[in-house]
Each structure stands twice: as C-alpha cells, then as structure tokens.
Amino acid sequence: MKTLVLVFHPNISESRVNKALGAAAESLAGNITVRYMYDIYPDFNIDVATEQAALLGADRIVLQYPMY
C-alpha cells in the first residue's frame, strides 16, 4: 500500500513534534512519500494537478499539522 504523508507547518525547522514525525515517516521502509507542503509551496501557488495526482496515487493519506 502507498502512503502519502502531507506535512503542513509554516516553520518546520523550529518544530519539535512535527519535524520528528516527518523524519520518522521518512525513515520507514516501504511505499511512503512525505511532502512538506510549506517547503514545496512557500508562495502558496499550489500545483493542483500535481497534488491531485499524488492524492489519487495513494492508498492512505496522512495529514500532519501543528496543534497550538
């Protein structure tokens, strides 16, 4: 099964929990793709077709975001 992890954090380098969770997901063996959305789209100009393709290609989708 393919897993897509979408990480939403405006300052991932300063995050403790979200940075650790993203790194842990990246270190797992298998079909896991981790996408740091703020790094990919710092100007918020999202490539909708690319993101739709990523979502459609996944069997599982994980949305990871900060909780304040």
Note the pLDDT tens digit of each residue in 31-60: 999 999 999 999 999 999 999 999 999 999
Residue position matching structure tokens 């979502």: 55
For the entire predicted model, the pTM comes to 0.87
Check: CB of residue 25 under 8 Å from CB of residue 32. Answer: yes
Structure confidence by residue, pLDDT tens digits, 4-20: 999 999 988 888 888 98
For 15, other C-beta atoms within 10 Å of its C-beta total 15
Strands (E) across 1-68 are located at 3-7, 32-36, 60-64
> For residue 61, is it left (φ>0), alpha (ψ between -120 and 50) or beta?
beta
pLDDT at 14: 87
Instruction: Map residue 57 onto helix, strand or coil.
Output: coil
